[in-house]
C-alpha cells in the first residue's frame, strides 16, 4: 500500500515535535476504510415499552422475534435495534444490519455496554465501533493478515534520519549550561519526541546498557487518529484500538505487539518510582548497570558500616527505613542517605533489603527459583556448585549483574566477621527469603524451602569469585 501523502493524517499520529522532519510513511488505507464504514442508524420504537431497562433508550423494542427485528431494520445498512429474547426473557440482543444481513449479538451491561472484550459508555458508541470493525475486517481481511510482514519497526527510515538530531537533544537535556544556546529551531522539549524516534536514538547510544527487556503492553484507547509504530497502519475503532507500552510509550496494534522485539527502552518520565519497579525497567530507564539504590546504599554501607555488629541482621527503625524509600522514590540518585541524615547504618541496610523485597520479580527470578532449590539439594559440593553456576546463567542480565555486585559486597561483609559477627551462613539466613521467593504464594513452600534459600545465598557469597 502506498504511503499516505496527507500530512494532517500522519501528523496526528505522532508528536508535533517530530512532524516537521517526518516523511509520509504512515499508510492511509485502513483510515480511509474507517471513513467509509456505515454509520449507525437507530430505529426508534414508536410506543413506550414496559419494563425497559433504564440503561437502554428508545432503540429498545421489548420482546420481539428475530423475524420482527429483521423487518424493523428494513434492510438499511447500519440500522440497529435492541430487543429482549423471546426464548430467554431477561436476556437482551443487539440486532444490527450489515453486509445485507441481520447480525444478532448477545448484549451485556455491567455499568458499561459490551458484546465482547471492549466496553462502551453508550450503545451508539458500541454500534459505531462494531460497524467500523466489521467493515474493515470484511474489506481488508487479506491486507490485515499481511500487515506484519514488512514492518517499519525493523528499519525505521525516518527515525534513522532523526538520530543525530535526537541524540543531540538527549545529551543537551543532561547539560543545563548549554540550554541558553538553543535556537528557535530546536526549542521543543525532548519529551515530545515520539517513542519510535526515541527508541532509534537510544539504540545507537553507546552509553546505553544493552539489557534485553520485553515491552509492557496494555490495552489503550487513543484520542484522535493514531497509527501503529510497528506496521505503520492506522489503528481503527473508537476505543481500545491498540496497545501502548506503559514503560516506553510504544503504540502498536494488538496483533503487531506479538512481533515487536524485546527492545523496550523505558522512558524515565513514565517511571514513577524506584521501589516496587521492575529491576530491568528501572536500570534501562536510568541508563545504569544496576539499580541506583543498590549502588548508593552499598557505597554508604561500605564507607561507614562494615564493622557494625549484626550488620544486615539488626533492624533499623521502620519509619526511618520508609523515609529512605520515599527519598529514593522522590529524588532518585540525588537522595541523601548520608550519616548526617541517617546516622544508624541499620536504616540503610534495612532500606536495601526492603528494595529487594519490594521487587515485583525477585532478584533471583520466579523462573529460576525451582532450579536453584533443586541445585541446593545436590549433596556433592562440586556438582552442586556447577549446578548453581548453570542456573545463574539463566538469570536476566540486569538481575545477574545486580546479584554479582551484591555478592561481592556481602563477601566484604564476611571479611569483617570479627567485628560485625556476620558470616556467609548468617547472611544467607537474612538474604535467602529476601532475594528469592517461590512463584506460588504458599507459606508451606516458603517454610520448607528456607534452608535451601539460605544455602544458595551462602554458596553465592563463599564462591562469588568462581561463580560470577
Which residues make up the CATH 3.30.60.20 domain(s) of the chain? 217-270
Which residues make up the CATH 3.30.505.10 domain(s) of the chain? 34-146
Residues of the chain predicted below pLDDT 50: 1-23, 157-193, 197-208
- Which three cell numbers, joined as nine digits, stand for 16? 508535533
- Residue 201's pLDDT is 45
- Residue 17's pLDDT is 36
- In CATH terms, 366-466 corresponds, of 3.40.50.300, 1.10.555.10, 3.20.20.210, 1.10.357.10, to 1.10.555.10
Q: What region, left, alpha or beta, does residue 40 occupy, with left being phi > 0 and alpha being psi -120 to 50 degrees?
A: beta
DSSP, collapsed to helix, strand or coil, labels residue 284 as helix
- Residue 86's pLDDT is 86
DSSP, collapsed to helix, strand or coil, labels residue 96 as strand
- Residue 389's pLDDT is 96
- Burial of 142 by CB count in 10 Å (0-12 exposed, 13-18 middle, 19+ buried)? exposed
- Residue 440's pLDDT is 84
| 366 in Cβ contact with 439 (< 8 Å) | yes
- In CATH terms, 34-146 corresponds, of 1.10.1740.10, 3.40.50.720, 1.10.3210.10, 3.30.505.10, to 3.30.505.10
| 273 in Cβ contact with 326 (< 8 Å) | no
- Residue 225's pLDDT is 87
Fold category of 217-270 in CATH? Wheat Germ Agglutinin (Isolectin 2); domain 1 (3.30.60)
Cα angle 180-186-187, degrees, rounded to a multiple of 5: 60
229-268 pLDDT per residue, tens: 889 899 999 999 999 998 888 999 999 999 998 888 888 8
297-328 pLDDT per residue, tens: 999 999 999 999 999 999 999 999 999 999 99
CA gap 261, 196 in Å, rounded? 13
- CATH 1.10.555.10 is the classification of domain 284-358: yes
- Burial of 321 by CB count in 10 Å (0-12 exposed, 13-18 middle, 19+ buried)? buried
CA gap 411, 298 in Å, rounded? 12
Which residues make up the CATH 1.10.555.10 domain(s) of the chain? 284-358, 366-466
| 226 in Cβ contact with 27 (< 8 Å) | no
| 203 in Cβ contact with 234 (< 8 Å) | no
pTM of the model: 0.63
Q: State how far Cα 287 lies from the chain centre.
A: 17
- Residue 210's pLDDT is 67
Amino acid at each position: 500500500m502506498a504511503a499516505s501523502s496527507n500530512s494532517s493524517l500522519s501528523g496526528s499520529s505522532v508528536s508535533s515535535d517530530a512532524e516537521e522532519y517526518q516523511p509520509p510513511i504512515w499508510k492511509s488505507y485502513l483510515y480511509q476504510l474507517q471513513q467509509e464504514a456505515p454509520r449507525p442508524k437507530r430505529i426508534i420504537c414508536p410506543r413506550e415499552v414496559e419494563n425497559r431497562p433504564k440503561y437502554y433508550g428508545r432503540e429498545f423494542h421489548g420482546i420481539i422475534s428475530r423475524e420482527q427485528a429483521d423487518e424493523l431494520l428494513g434492510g438499511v445498512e447500519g440500522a440497529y435495534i435492541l430487543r429482549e429474547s423471546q426464548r430467554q426473557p431477561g436476556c437482551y440482543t443487539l440486532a444490527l444490519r450489515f453486509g445485507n444481513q441481520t447480525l444478532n449479538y448477545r448484549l451485556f451491561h455491567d455499568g458499561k455496554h459490551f458484546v465482547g472484550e471492549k466496553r462502551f459508555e453508550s450503545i451508539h458508541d458500541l454500534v459505531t465501533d462494531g460497524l467500523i470493525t466489521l467493515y474493515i475486517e470484511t474489506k481488508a481481511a487479506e491486507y490485515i493478515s499481511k500487515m506484519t510482514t514488512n514492518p517499519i519497526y525493523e528499519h525505521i527510515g525516518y527515525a534513522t534520519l532523526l538520530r543525530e538530531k535526537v541524540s543531540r537533544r538527549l545529551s543537551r537535556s543532561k547539560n543545563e549550561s548549554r540550554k541558553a544556546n538553543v535556537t528557535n529551531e530546536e526549542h521543543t522539549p525532548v519529551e515530545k519526541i515520539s517513542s519510535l524516534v526515541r527508541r532509534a536514538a537510544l539504540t545507537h547510544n553507546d552509553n546505553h546498557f544493552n539489557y534485553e527487556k520485553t515491552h509492557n503492553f496494555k490495552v489503550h484507547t487513543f484520542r484522535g487518529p493514531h497509527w501503529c509504530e510497528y506496521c505503520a497502519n492506522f489503528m481503527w475503532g473508537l476505543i481500545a484500538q491498540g496497545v501502548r507500552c506503559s514503560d516506553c510509550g510504544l503504540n502498536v496494534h494488538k496483533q503487531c505487539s506479538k512481533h515487536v522485539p524485546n527492545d523496550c527502552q523505558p522512558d524515565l518520565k513514565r517511571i514513577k518510582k524506584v521501589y516496587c519497579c521492575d529491576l530491568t525497567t528501572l536500570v534501562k530507564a536510568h541508563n545504569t548497570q544496576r539499580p541506583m539504590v543498590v549502588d548508593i546504599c552499598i557505597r554508604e554501607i561500605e564507607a561507614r558500616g562494615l564493622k557494625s555488629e549484626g550488620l544486615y541482621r539488626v533492624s533499623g527503625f521502620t519509619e526511618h527505613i520508609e523515609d529512605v524509600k520515599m527519598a529514593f522514590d522522590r529524588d532518585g540518585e540525588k537522595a541523601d542517605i548520608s550519616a548526617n541524615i541517617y546516622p544508624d547504618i541499620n536504616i540503610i541496610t534495612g532500606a536495601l533489603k526492603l528494595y529487594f523485597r519490594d521487587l515485583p520479580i525477585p532478584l533471583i527470578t520466579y523462573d529460576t527459583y525451582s532450579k536453584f532449590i533443586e541445585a541446593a539439594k545436590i549433596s556433592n559440593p562440586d556438582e552442586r556448585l556447577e549446578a548453581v553456576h548453570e542456573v545463574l546463567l539463566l538469570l536476566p542480565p540486569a538481575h545477574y549483574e545486580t546479584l554479582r555486585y551484591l555478592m561481592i559486597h556481602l563477601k566484604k561483609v564476611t571479611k569483617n566477621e570479627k567485628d560485625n559477627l556476620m558470616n556467609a551462613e548468617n547472611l544467607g539466613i537474612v538474604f535467602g527469603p529476601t532475594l528469592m521467593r517461590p512463584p506460588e504464594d504458599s507459606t508451606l513452600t516458603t517454610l520448607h524451602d528456607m534452608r535451601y534459600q539460605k544455602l544458595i545465598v551462602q554458596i553465592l557469597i563463599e564462591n562469588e569469585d568462581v561463580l560470577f
